[in-house]
Amino acid sequence: MSDPPFRSDPVEGPQGPPAVDVATLRAAFSGRLLTDAADMAPFLTDWRRKWTGRALAVVQPDTTDDVARAVGWCRAHRVAVVPQGGNTGLSGGATPDETGRAVVLSLARMNRVRSIDRENNTIVVEAGVTLQRLQEEAKQAGRLFPLSLAAEGTCTIGGNLASNAGGVQVLRYGNARDLCLGLEVVTAEGQVWNGLRGLRKDNTGYDLRDLFVGSEGTLGVITAAALKLFPQPAAQVAAFIAVPSPREAVGLLQAAQQRIGPALTAFELMSDTCIGLVEKHVAAARLPLAERSAWYVLLEVSDSQDEAHAQAAVEALLEGALEERLATDAALSASLSQFKALWSLREDISESQGAEGKTVKHDISLPVSRIPDFIETTGAAIRREFPGLRLVVFGHLGDGNLHYNLSPPEGATAADAARFVGLEGALNRRVHDAVVENGGSISAEHGLGVLRRDESARYKSDVELNLMRAVKAALDPLNLMNPGKVLP
Amino acid sequence: MSDPPFRSDPVEGPQGPPAVDVATLRAAFSGRLLTDAADMAPFLTDWRRKWTGRALAVVQPDTTDDVARAVGWCRAHRVAVVPQGGNTGLSGGATPDETGRAVVLSLARMNRVRSIDRENNTIVVEAGVTLQRLQEEAKQAGRLFPLSLAAEGTCTIGGNLASNAGGVQVLRYGNARDLCLGLEVVTAEGQVWNGLRGLRKDNTGYDLRDLFVGSEGTLGVITAAALKLFPQPAAQVAAFIAVPSPREAVGLLQAAQQRIGPALTAFELMSDTCIGLVEKHVAAARLPLAERSAWYVLLEVSDSQDEAHAQAAVEALLEGALEERLATDAALSASLSQFKALWSLREDISESQGAEGKTVKHDISLPVSRIPDFIETTGAAIRREFPGLRLVVFGHLGDGNLHYNLSPPEGATAADAARFVGLEGALNRRVHDAVVENGGSISAEHGLGVLRRDESARYKSDVELNLMRAVKAALDPLNLMNPGKVLP
């Protein structure tokens, strides 16, 4: 490949790498280069304030060529590039390390919708477009962009793709990877790869697109994407269903997939502990059922016909489920406000748990068939080994994805809370060992970043790690693209 | 990575590479190693007899360890590995070259179903399982494996994945890539990567799976796969619809996607020329409509409810389409035999065209929105530049995938036919230039192999080719895995 525009490689001094002068970068990015500590601060810490790093500068490109120029400068000066979108990640993937020898590349200003093709059901957007705006642009064109997750008001599609984000409708529409048809990427060499194809079928060589998707900025910088759109559903209905245990929830999932097919767009599981926390912390929240149950399912049907058809389908499903004792009670949404209220019970779990203090989280996936055993066995082990801890278990059962979270005992003293924090590593190990024994993944939709980097490497085979290292070395031989993320 | 079991690297002689003695390989594969010319012949020529190569031997492994041993031997002796499944490919991807310094690795004996998980909707099979058997195994478990294509009785899932095969239900279920959750692969180093995860969500590093899928055996050997299963639909209905032109067909597709949603499982377009050829060569074929039309659509609905519901959905769609003049007439299947008869009209096109003599084929994809213009403009240009040729245009309109084929003039003399054969290169160039100008792909579902290798490289940017070369060099530094395929 040819060389990037910047060629003035710094000379290694006897004391290690020399100081880097950002003057040439500042000249190229006048007014869009932050070096002041206060200006840079929001870009150097993740939103949960778990990780803080240092950087030479924050660069704010407006165009793909700007990105290529910035990456070229970093390459010439042997400075790391840390791409950042909405900075809403949960694994520390967008925060620079503490060496200070990095430039944070904020894609936030690259927020143009480049084109929309209703007949082809595709949209081409730049990396800095927020997920919510993307949803709105699709809607204005009479189409659906189905990726949806808690941070959608702030997170960007570039970050969603870099971390292969999931969310609530993966069951029907897939994760960010599945929604992506093509990419524009600035390579580690500072070159622009235009792979923005809006094609459902293209078998002309290696799948570079999927290599960059999910690579968390460690192989190149995603600057734009061609994404799938779908028809807007004619109607949506939600049902909040009491189930005796996760085993019946899996049975209900099977029945729903058989009877409702692809109109089943979400299937969420949550324990009564979760709903109790929402009721405690969200004033408007109330259980829509007469009696409590140990577990609940929230399912969503998106119908191409109309609301009555959707309701009839859910009612037929529930009738069978009550007969077969897969469910004990259910509430069905009959209006948009009821639909939203049922969804809020699920969506408010994370924040309600956060209001109880420190949380130990696990974003895991398992074969759906293993989930009932996993919940039973792992729950029993944790209750035995770590008495008093609260299990806050919920997630996207339809995708085999659980947010297997833990909270300190109710009314914990400061000493209890401190002890709980100290248990994080042991709890992670306990949960992740059980996940891997059951053929699962220790990071289902949040990526590895730095949070799960070493833990993931611990469970992967040498063959797999070596394949990953070979890919990394091939596409980023100087190890300048978001170094220290994904791979140890 | 550690070294493979075979270490006796041959010494380069002064006259080039030394002769290779297959004795050690024969000892390891006693009874499963073919070296006799007649025995090897079926493996050295593709089924259409377009390509014939040479090989030192054909090895028939029974297990993944066998494959690792064979690849290790080839690596030690610097001999190329040419993986082969059912040998039904259309691009010459499974035929060795003429140097003779290759071992054909037939995966046909690796044909075990390793496991099936109904609750997780997954099946794990070895590479040599035929697509039809896989469909049958899924059906016996009350599930659907939806990949379906003409060669399904012979082609193997390993080959389907290596070439990312498509077929008729991609619109709803995706291509082979989309149906694959995990892989087992023997790497170019002769090591086994066990990535057989049956998970819908797994964000723990680079997407190695999708790197091997579609790489046509040039990065490693797929030995097994974990695949998605789906519920069996309750009922299926097909409609054969007369449409004035491809423009109305695209309009009808939009309407069908909006009204029928994901229950729309196929949407095929074909010209009257295609149907005329089927009527000429297939005795049982007859147009199910009173009057001919320049173009037809065959659509399929797979319903989760029942046949009546499917019929009502299609009838409502057709009523609107007739009113809006998107369609002029339609026939709806009312029985399984009618359903099959309508599908035969579409499925018999390829063979009927073949019966007319030599065919020049193009397996192309375009944004759906560009297809009407492309068909009109390119058709006019070909009629002008190559008078008398017959355009036999059909394909998976819902995926933007056309089989844009050409036949010599009707009743062509031997001289005409010979002249037509000589035009292949010029016709390819004419069609592919137009495809690329319209943002399309010159190989939608058949892969590159050797047939489209150079042509594809001609249209790709240096940046993309260099990324592909970097990946190839990283995973197969000795260039022994199916060399000469995919990349020039």
Residue A297, CA atoms < 13 Å, CB-side half-sphere: 31
Tell me which of B204, B208, B264, B404 to substitute to probe the interface with A (most A C-beta atoms closer than 10 Å).
B204
Residue contact B464–A172, C-beta within 8 A: no
Query: Chain B residue with minimal CA distance to A463?
Result: B193
- DSSP letter at A434 equals H
Q: How far apart are CA A271 and CA A168, in angstroms?
A: 17
Q: Give Rg (Cα) of chain B.
A: 24
pLDDT given for residue B311 in this prediction: 97
Nearest to A207 among B193, B210, B370 (CB): B210
Q: How far is B78 from chain A (nearest CA, A)?
A: 21
In what helix (H) or strand (E) does residue A105 lie, and over which residues does it extend? strand A102-106
SS3 readout for A174-187: CCHHHHEEEEEEEE
The answer, for B213 touching chain A at a CB cutoff of 8 Å, is: yes
Instruction: Retrieve residue A171's tokens.
Output: 């069951």
In the stretch 82-111 of chain A, residues with CB closer than 8 A to chain B read none
The answer, for A228 touching chain B at a CB cutoff of 8 Å, is: no
Nearest to A368 among B119, B396, B441 (CB): B119
SS3 readout for B380-405: HHHHHHCCCCEEEEEEEHHHCEEEEE
SS3 readout for B469-481: HHHHHHHCCCCCE
Instruction: Retrieve residue B355's tokens.
Output: 């019966």
Q: How far apart are CA B311 and CA B239, in angstroms?
A: 9
pLDDT confidence tier of residue B168, bands split at 50, 70 and 90: confident
In the stretch 366-385 of chain A, residues with CB closer than 8 A to chain B read 366-370
- DSSP letter at A430 equals H
Q: How far apart are CA A402 and CA A393, in angstroms?
A: 7
Residue-wise pLDDT tens digits, B399-430: 999 999 999 998 889 999 999 999 999 999 99
pTM above 0.80, yes or no: yes
Tell me which of B200, B212, B435 to substitute to probe the interface with A (most A C-beta atoms closer than 10 Å).
B200
Residue contact B163–A203, C-beta within 8 A: yes
Residue contact A120–B400, C-beta within 8 A: yes
- DSSP letter at B422 equals H
Least confident of A49-58, A428-437, B7-16, B387-396: B7-16
Q: How far apart are CA B209 and CA B204, in angstroms?
A: 12
A246-260 helix and A371-385 helix, angle to the nearest 10 degrees: 160
CA B474 vs CA B79, B467, B483: distances in Å: 18, 11, 14
Residues of chain A falling short of pLDDT 50: 1-14
The answer, for B166 touching chain A at a CB cutoff of 8 Å, is: yes
Strand-pairing partners, residue A240, are A298, A331
Pure H helices in B150-304: 157-162, 170-173, 176-179, 208-212, 246-260, 272-281
pLDDT given for residue A3 in this prediction: 42
The answer, for B438 touching chain A at a CB cutoff of 8 Å, is: no
Q: How far is B29 from chain A (nearest CA, A)?
A: 25
Q: How far apart are CA B228 and CA B200, in angstroms?
A: 9
pLDDT given for residue B17 in this prediction: 59
Nearest to A192 among B201, B210, B463 (CB): B463
Q: How far is A346 from chain B (nearest CA, A)?
A: 20
Residue contact A462–B1, C-beta within 8 A: yes
Residue B74 has pLDDT above 80, yes or no: yes
Whether the CB-CB separation of B203 and A443 falls below 8 Å is answered with: yes
The answer, for B352 touching chain A at a CB cutoff of 8 Å, is: no
pLDDT given for residue B109 in this prediction: 98
Q: How far apart are CA A93 and CA A87, in angstroms?
A: 9
Stretch B463-472: mean pLDDT: 98
The answer, for B264 touching chain A at a CB cutoff of 8 Å, is: no
Nearest to A261 among B200, B231, B486 (CB): B231
- DSSP letter at A12 equals P
**Among candidate residues A129, A115, A130, the one with its CA nearest the CA of residue A197:** A115
* DSSP notation for A169-217: THHHH--HHHHEEEEEEEETTS-EEEE----S---SS--HHHHHTTSTT
Q: Which amino acid, residue B78?
A: R
Q: Is A174 left (phi over 0), alpha (psi -120 to 50) or beta?
A: left
Residues in chain A with CB shorter than 8 Å from the CB of B233 are 261
Whether the CB-CB separation of A303 and A235 falls below 8 Å is answered with: yes
Nearest to A203 among B396, B439, B443 (CB): B443
Query: Chain B residue with minimal CA distance to A180?
Result: B178
Residues in chain B with CB shorter than 8 Å from the CB of A260 are 304
Residue contact A201–B445, C-beta within 8 A: yes
Q: How far is B402 from chain A (nearest CA, A)?
A: 10
Q: How far is A441 from chain B (nearest CA, A)?
A: 6
Residue contact A211–B440, C-beta within 8 A: no
Q: How far is A72 from chain B (nearest CA, A)?
A: 15
Tell me which of A163, A201, A453 to substitute to probe the interface with B (most B C-beta atoms closer than 10 Å).
A201
Residue contact A203–B439, C-beta within 8 A: no
Residues in chain B with CB shorter than 8 Å from the CB of A444 are 199, 201-203
Instruction: Retrieve residue B421's tokens.
Output: 């054969």
Whether the CB-CB separation of A61 and A186 falls below 8 Å is answered with: no
Residue contact B195–A464, C-beta within 8 A: yes
Residue B41 has pLDDT above 60, yes or no: yes
Cβ-based neighbour number of residue B87 at 10 Å: 21
Exposure string over B260-270, b if 16+ CB within 10 A, otherwise e:
bbbbbbbbbbb
Residue-wise pLDDT tens digits, A148-198: 999 999 999 999 999 999 988 999 999 999 999 999 999 999 999 999 999
Query: Chain B residue with minimal CA distance to A305?
Result: B259
Residues in chain A with CB shorter than 8 Å from the CB of B162 are none
Query: Chain B residue with minimal CA distance to A212?
Result: B206
Tell me which of A1, A206, A254, A363 to substitute to probe the interface with B (most B C-beta atoms closer than 10 Å).
A206
The residue that leads in pLDDT, A16 or B352, is B352
Residues in chain B with CB shorter than 8 Å from the CB of A452 are 204
Whether the CB-CB separation of B155 and B251 falls below 8 Å is answered with: no
Residue contact A461–B194, C-beta within 8 A: yes
Nearest to B439 among A198, A231, A467 (CB): A198
Q: How far apart are CA B100 and CA A369, in angstroms?
A: 48
How far separated are the first and last CA of chain A, in Å rounded?
27
3-state DSSP percent of chain B in helix, strand and coil, to 5? 40, 20, 40
**What three-state secondary structure class fits A354?**
helix
Q: How far apart are CA A392 and CA A411, in angstroms?
A: 16
Instruction: Retrieve residue A260's tokens.
Output: 């409702």
Residue contact A261–B468, C-beta within 8 A: no
Q: How far is A256 from chain B (nearest CA, A)?
A: 10
Q: How far apart are CA B7 and CA B77, in angstroms?
A: 8
Q: Which amino acid, residue B246?
A: P
In what helix (H) or strand (E) does residue A58 lie, and over which residues does it extend? strand A57-59
> Is B423 buried (19+), middle (13-18) or exposed (0-12) by CB count in 10 A?
middle
Residue contact A468–B205, C-beta within 8 A: yes
Residue contact A470–B470, C-beta within 8 A: no
CB pairs under 8 A between A and B: 277
**What three-state secondary structure class fits A382?**
helix
Whether the CB-CB separation of B232 and B463 falls below 8 Å is answered with: no
Whether the CB-CB separation of A202 and B444 falls below 8 Å is answered with: yes
3-state DSSP percent of chain A in helix, strand and coil, to 5? 40, 20, 40
* Residues B175-178: contacts with CB under 8 Å, at least 24 apart: B175/A200, B175/A201, B175/B147, B175/B445, B176/B147, B176/B213, B177/A207, B177/B210, B177/B213, B177/B214, B178/A178, B178/B228
Residue-wise pLDDT tens digits, B198-239: 999 999 999 999 999 999 999 999 999 999 999 999 999 999
Q: How far apart are CA A309 and CA B15, in angstroms?
A: 77
Residue contact B444–A119, C-beta within 8 A: no
Q: Which amino acid, residue B53?
A: G
B371-385 helix and B246-260 helix, angle to the nearest 10 degrees: 160
Q: How far apart are CA B61 and CA B272, in angstroms?
A: 47
Q: How far apart are CA B200 and CA B182, in angstroms?
A: 10
Nearest to A464 among B193, B201, B219 (CB): B193
Query: Chain B residue with minimal CA distance to A171?
Result: B200
Whether the CB-CB separation of B448 and B93 falls below 8 Å is answered with: yes
pLDDT given for residue B18 in this prediction: 63
**Among candidate residues A52, A113, A58, A64, the one with its CA nearest the CA of residue A84:** A58
Residues counted in chain B: 488
ipTM above 0.90, yes or no: yes
Residue contact A399–B198, C-beta within 8 A: no
